[in-house]
Structure 1
Amino acid sequence: MTSKNIPSPAEQIKQLRDQLNDWSYRYYVLDDPAVPDAEYDRLFRQLQALESEHPDLVSPDSPTQRVGDVPLEGFNEVRHAVPMLSLGNAFSDDELRDFDQRVHERLDVSGGIDYVAEPKLDGLAVSLVYENGELVRGATRGDGETGEDITANVRTIKSIPLRLRGENPPALMEVRGEVVMTHHGFAELNRRQAEAEQKTFANPRNAAAGSLRQLDSRITAQRPLEFYAYSLAQLDGESWPDRHSAILERLRQWGLRVNPEVKLCDGVDALLAFYHDILERRDQLDYDIDGVVYKVDRLDWQRDLGFVSRAPRWAVAHKFPAQEEITVLNGVDWQVGRTGALTPVAKLEPVQVGGVTVSNATLHNIDEIRRLDIRVGDTVVVYRAGDVIPKVVRAVPERRPDNAEEIDLPAACPVCGSDIFRAEGGVVARCTGGLICGAQQREAIKHFASRRAMDIEGLGEKLVDALVDQQLIATVADLYRLQAEPVADLERMGEKSAANLIEALEHSKSVSLERFLFALGILQIGEETAKALADCFGDLDTIRRAPLLLFLAVPDVGLEVAKAIHAFFREQHNEDVIDGLLAEGVQPRANGHPSAAFVRELTLGYFLKAAKRLGMALDGVGEKSLETLGGHYKTVAALAEADADEAPVRPAMLAQVHNALKQDDWRQRLEQAEAQAAGLSAKAPREVAEQALEGQTWVLTGTLSRLTRDQAKAHLQSLGAKVAGSVSKKTHCVVAGEAAGSKLTKAEELGVAVMDEDTFVDFLAGHGIVV
């Protein structure tokens, strides 16, 4: 190729801009994506690179120039050349017919009148000004006469073109429209806000308004905003179309998005049909609407009709039933879900919201109650959209009575009386009576019987429901008390099926300890943690009696998980059910020997560090000093009686440790942990050969033909490996079966060793495991 055929940088940049703008038009206006996002991103990066090399060729309308980099100190005031007026409202079909009749009378016409009907978007009205096709200003509606200059922010919205399409754009054009946030985008934004521990938004409209009023356009650019054009306010350099429907079509041609629900309707009956159709489909739309707007289509008739009280006589908003109303919060009930989660339910003075009477509404959780500062007796705002569960969205503090009561978490489960557990920093509070709580019984029994737990063949969800409904079982222990005859009388059972169930129950009585622990459904305990508990402690009885300090020493068990395990076994109701299982012959299999590596961790130094994590008053004592004290004194008693003159740390530090031991029963708690650690040490094997894969992390991916994933996992664990679900730099090896996907790709990218199935089977054979 000769140099004459190579496009200049300016030509390349123009080609890229034109292509990207065309793809944006296809995506946002025509709703017809031309290429995958990855292809758009690839060309976008090419344009960025070229503009970086040739900064003199960067123009304001380039797709790369949507986001500024200097936050504003404040918004400038904008006076609208044409006021942004409000609309009159119709709240019923009869009021709409009255509007249509007034239009007929003022125009003195007897035939049908064409109207344009469009959804009334619940967002923020904005004005966009284009000069010679280039976006030069964006402004909020404000009071209709003056608004705020938000040009930097509207430039970040991808459905707003920075330059109009076409060769000869108008010299001046002002378009009006609505900025909204989709439901999908709103949910994703709130998820990101919550993960970043930032304020979440009450609804999409508030989120859209707050996003448009950011002084830093880089923040606005991260918000999922969309724009829909609905009218023209100014047009110079080109003749006006004669109908509103033609204006909307012209806006589409210029590259502006118009709502796809817009429809030309002949007469009031067609308007009512449009209204009731979109009202019925309202919840299926991905954006909020609060009604429908009707406009007389002919512009000459609009001019003849004119305005009244700053509102056009040729348009009206037909409002939907209110989705928000004010009422009084009379009380709060706490409901317990199938997984033990407690949800506060507001008991309201009945009120009509969205066409139905609402007397109950969700308050989500105690943190939301605190954030909204809602109290019993408050006047509150209730929101309901379609089939969405009504929710309290805010209080009206100026109406708060003097006797308003604060709302607190209940001290015990309102269903079964068990303790309430809430992880520090966690959102959800849960009942700890998972094995006996009536609200959780079905879920607890189904989990207990599942394949990865007790694997009770034939005990599916429908049979569990039937057994509970007929009051044949209330807890998992009752399963092993079932008799064949009453089971056979259940619908779709019979003698054979009942006998098979009893046999399956009998077969399940002998189960590994880790599967039994997993089957109990302890909060936050998965299969890996259950196995770690079984390996570390060696038997069920030791786990049941273990103090909290010992659970913290289990590998991969953090503070909140340790608290959840401890809370479960300190709940007497759960202990009673476990006793019932053992009494019925359930025998969790274990080797009876605690892990030697686990026992080695249980030193005084470790206990002191763990106690500090649990709140022991050792803030001024570092972990290194605690290790020194533990290594020097060995026992709690020796540490408690230590003489400051002989201490391996500063006297003031030892004095702080002594004071901490006297507070909150810490000496007793440490000595209890110390005693159990001594018992574990006595049972631990004296010599343990190091396992071949000790300390290694392996990952399984794809389909294995010669053994199941569970079997492969168990073999690796028997050799000391940890089997993880994702690949990282710390992964030792990946076993890849057929149709291995992203995990294999990640391993290859990171240079992690990979084995196919045949190599893996040979590897196991080399360690005495024959498949």
Structure 2
Amino acid sequence: MATTIEQQIIELRTELRTHNYNYYVLDNATISDYDFDLKLKELEKLEIENPQFFDANSPTQRVGGEVTKNFNTVTHKNRMYSLDNSYSKEDLEDWEKRIQKIVGVEKLEYTCELKYDGASINLTYENGVLQSAVTRGDGFQGDEVTANIKTIKSIPLVLKNKELENFEIRGEIILPLDGFNKMNEERIEAGEDAYRNPRNTASGSLKLQDSAEVAKRPLDCLLYHIVEPSNKFKTHFNTLEKARDLGFKVPKAIEQCKSIDEVFTFIKHWDVERHNLPYETDGIVVKVNSLAYQDELGFTSKAPRWAIAYKFKAEQEATILNEITYQVGRTGAITPVANLEPVQLAGTTVKRASLHNADQIEKLDIRVGDTVYVEKGGEIIPKIVGVNLEERPSNSEPTIYCTHCPECGTKLVRKEGDAKHYCPNEYGCPTQITARIQHFISRKAMNIDGLGAESVELLFKEGLIQNYADLYELNVDQIVPLERMAEKSAKNMVEGIEKSKEIPFEKVLFALGIRFVGETVAKKLAKHFKSITNLMNATEEELIAVDEIGDRIAESVVEFSQNLINIQLVDRLASYGVQLEISEDELANNSTILTGKIFVVSGVFTIFNRNELKKSIEDNGGKVASSISKKTTFVIAGDNMGPSKRTKAETLDVEIITESDYLKLIEN
């Protein structure tokens, strides 16, 4: 009897999943709502009466009910990158030339997809079952929102087939316009404020604590990228077709294009047709179709080289400029800010916009009281793009740029060739001090848990810290008496600071906030000099000799290293146990056997993946270049190496080796 009931439950679940898929993914109902509800209630009754057959992925569990008070922060197994933007056909052609040069192929095929305006999500499947759902966050780590995601009916909890079992798939959680409008009608009827726009509402829905409330919202999920390590597919288009077969909702507005001209035809079509879509989109994503070429092109520090977003012309509105104020950044850079009469722009209320610098204000002749045109740069950051001179008041006065720091009153300076003004009071300007400490504790730097921007402001205001080294002398008794601080919060802060002593040297170097030394530069300098002592003793000539380190960075590092305050701060960090040199374990895996040798990596590999191969070259003292030249020592060739690259290597008499040859090279 038990087997019969279990079989009945399994059959009902399978049938209801099929109806769900037909309705929410294919938009093709195969059963009436009434009949569906009857079957769902029948299944629910059987599951209650037979709890031994409970399944967290049953269709009856889609209604939510799980309460999540704190969303766990999860590190992405594979980083979620952002996209570089383009705004014209010329931008796309320039992008194509860059990637053609890297892969050594003139003819490339692309896939074009709509750029959905929602909240990015990463779904992980194991053995064909949804295991976790994590928001994009900062790309390195995000919030685990699995309970809420399970309420979205277009996301399969169990795959239709097990052809692809263990993988990640990425997409966008969106709120279709009809559903958004209906939600707002209900809110207005209830006397509540309407939601501003679908994107922010979708994003906010993912962080609701009660998944039953999320289930009430008509959220949808459009998928666009599979991360799967087995090299099972040849093209990106193939992966999307497979995602559809597995039961995912992959939009039909996808096209393979054989040239940039075909890409632009697709763009022009959707620039008009997008207004008829059931959801919001703000552009087109263009991707190199070949996964082998994607692998070869790799990533910059921020974005994949093999993809680019074409952004539709930004929405523009006119409003009044009420006031110009000035902000001070971590490096002392002054940014003028336009304070505007509030205006609706691309679904959000805009009150402020960047004016960039004094030259931009002078170029547009922007004045207080002007009617200005505001748009979102890339539809993200508001900016002023023009002035309606016909509406200018008769008593209008030209803008005189500020001459002194708005925070500490120090006279501003502007170096020749620099667009921005700076406050030179680096160690006395309160905003620069707190901004430097906030940079030091940030996720990509020291990643100190329990300590945020507001806490830094409070600790500085109370005189407990004047610089980032002071953090390591804080104790719980000092912190507990502060406003909004309990003993647990104080302990978490001190523990987070203590744990930051384990952060590797390259991140500590970035955290120090040396001007022009970003994440990538910090990594190169750490790898080359091995310790902060070696770096701070280096001359400008020695710094410039490091790959990709130019005059401006070298000057900045030397200036930092010769400043007595910085020397004392670094000495203090060393005394507290902060990592100021590459660890012995990391050094043990390094050698100088490839010093002076330049490699170009091309094709698909079996022993290494591309990133592992590049890391191995760098760990052994070699340099990886993106294109072949007379200076290239070796080309490491895998399968599907670009024919023009091979021809160029042969023409320049550059030796072509396999990855097996490379292994022998470093072993010898």
Larger radius of gyration: 1
TM-score (norm 2): 0.49
TM-score (norm 1): 0.42
